Amino acid sequence: MKYVLLVIAVAAVAARAESPVALYYHEAAGIAQAARIKQAELALDFDGSRIIGGAAAAVGTYPFLVGLVITLSTGATSVCGSSMLSNTRALTAAHCWWDGRNQARQFTLVFGSARLFSGGTRVASSSVQMHAAYSPTTLSNDVAIISFSSVPYSNVVRAVALPSGSLLSNNFAGSWVQAAGYGKTSDAAGISQNQFQSHVSLQVITNAACAQFFGGIIVSSTLCTGGSGGVGTCSGDSGGPLVLSSGGQRVLVGVTSFGSSRGCQAGFPSGFARVTSFLSWIQARL
């Protein structure tokens, strides 16, 4: 999932020197992955696991996961993920719309589909509001709201819960969370026309621990998950959900944002926009 990140605790300790985060998502990851999908129309490479160290997720397992097929202003195609907040709103990463070099022209939102490029309910939208303080060079405030024509709920299409109560003051360090998306399984893996949803469990680490890898780019509104054990997100997962199971439901706590420029398997944490830091901004736009 996403376009950066993970693995091997020993390597992470040995390579504790700070790493730059991966920037300019569309040219660094999204466009290339979309192109590989088009070139593999007839490929059937589904091997049971998408996301690094994860597993395939049946349709409806994450009914709030909304795929994004992106048309850039240049006419190129890219891919991201998002989370359904209501019948007419979804939350994604701001860099999916504007990554500092590449401007999106339109999102095609994909609801209730195991695959990103076929099936499900598909709705086009160019109505996107990025956070006013979003920085494409530091990926701070990396959140955006997508408005779209109403999509009915079903068994496989449902809005995600937002944090409330005691979760509002929780930094989630040590908690196990789940990430879901349509992205790659390793730096070397491709994405096919038959790309499936997948998911993985990750453990939240403290921002202080994350800053040992990324330095001052880690701020209070960042949430990080560890990279040990060979699990994480990779190309194609940007903007997708990170959820915590609480009170019998999945609660959105992060938006997939960044990782190491060294790639998905370099042993570095994953970075997410911390949803509790943006809750009032999000709720004002629902």
Q: Is the dihedral of CA 111, 114, 118, 119 positive or negative?
A: negative
Among 83, 186, 221, 238, the active-site one is 238
DSSP state of 194: T
Q: How far apart are CA 194 and CA 178, in angstroms?
A: 22
Helix (H, G, I), strand (E, B) or coil at 176: strand
In the residue annotation, 238 being an active-site residue is answered as yes
Among 78, 82, 131, 142, the active-site one is 142
Which amino acid would we find at residue 152?
P
In the residue annotation, 199 being an active-site residue is answered as no
Among 26, 95, 131, 199, the active-site one is 95
Residue pair 152/86 in contact (Cβ under 8 Å)? The answer is: no
Residue pair 158/271 in contact (Cβ under 8 Å)? The answer is: no
Distances (CA, A) of 132 to 78, 93, 129: 23, 13, 8
Which residues are identified as catalytic? 95, 142, 238
